[in-house]
Amino acid sequence: MRDHAQTVAVITGGSQGLGLAIAERLLAEGCPQMIIAGRGVMKGEEAAERLRETGADVRFLPVDMGDPQDAIDLINRAATRFGRVTALVNAAAATDRGSILDTTPASWDGLMAVNARGPFFALQRFAQLAIENGHPAQAVNILSMVVHCGQSFLAPYSASKAALANVTKNAAQALRAHRIRVNAINCGWMDTPGEDATQRRYHGAGDDWLAQAEAAQPMGMLVKPVHVAGLASYMLSAASGVMTGAVVDFDQNVSGAYPE
């Protein structure tokens, strides 16, 4: 398939996990030019080098999504390099823990900065440039099932993702007349390197945590990045038509359901 032969993409959090899976999917579908962005320079450069094996022009740019100017500059640098940016994926996120009883103002501000403010201003600059250059564009924000509530120890994280869910719909409404589409995916519990690190850091998980977790799931697995990447690619492609403002649950647990 060549659904992305005209796509010029920027993917934050693109050097590992879901962001990397989305990058790989877009490249497999013909994307010729791409920026992957993140905090880890060595990991990012290594990922970009591997991705260039597809023949595409892939570059890594360091970014601190907690700094709105950094998020804006990322889009500007990508547009300067490629001439335009037609697809944006906001996949970078912080996942620090905290409940309503113990979250500090600093932790709240940090999560809101990385998970909502940074993506907002990246999306803003992305849309501004698309309008200035007169071309359609598509964005996908990576959210989480926690937007519906979330565990007690994910209070500020849940709030930050819920904020980005609203940004998704508000931006979709504001930008549709410019043929800029904005959609989002609420991911369930996912099997990623970042989740492995989180389980070990915050929950004392051992080497068998993934096997135990998957054995307890209705479908015998956690959400896999490669599966979500297919939906993200669809949302960013012409195949999704006029779809905008959609926030899609991608999980095996149904929000609002109760034990029977």
Any idea which residues carry the catalytic annotation?
157
If we measure between CA atoms, which residue out of 5, 67, 80, 69 comes closest to residue 35? Answer: 80
User: Vertex 140, ends 134 and 143: CA angle to 5°?
Assistant: 150
Query: Cβ(38)–Cβ(14) under 8 Å?
Result: yes
Q: Choose among 113, 168, 94: nearest CA to 138.
A: 168
Handedness of CA 45, 51, 53, 57 (dihedral sign): negative
Written as one letter, the residue type at 111 is L
Answer whether 7's CB lies under 8 Å from 28's CB.
Answer: no
Which residue, among 239, 156, 218, 226, has the nearest Cα to 187 in the 3D structure?
226
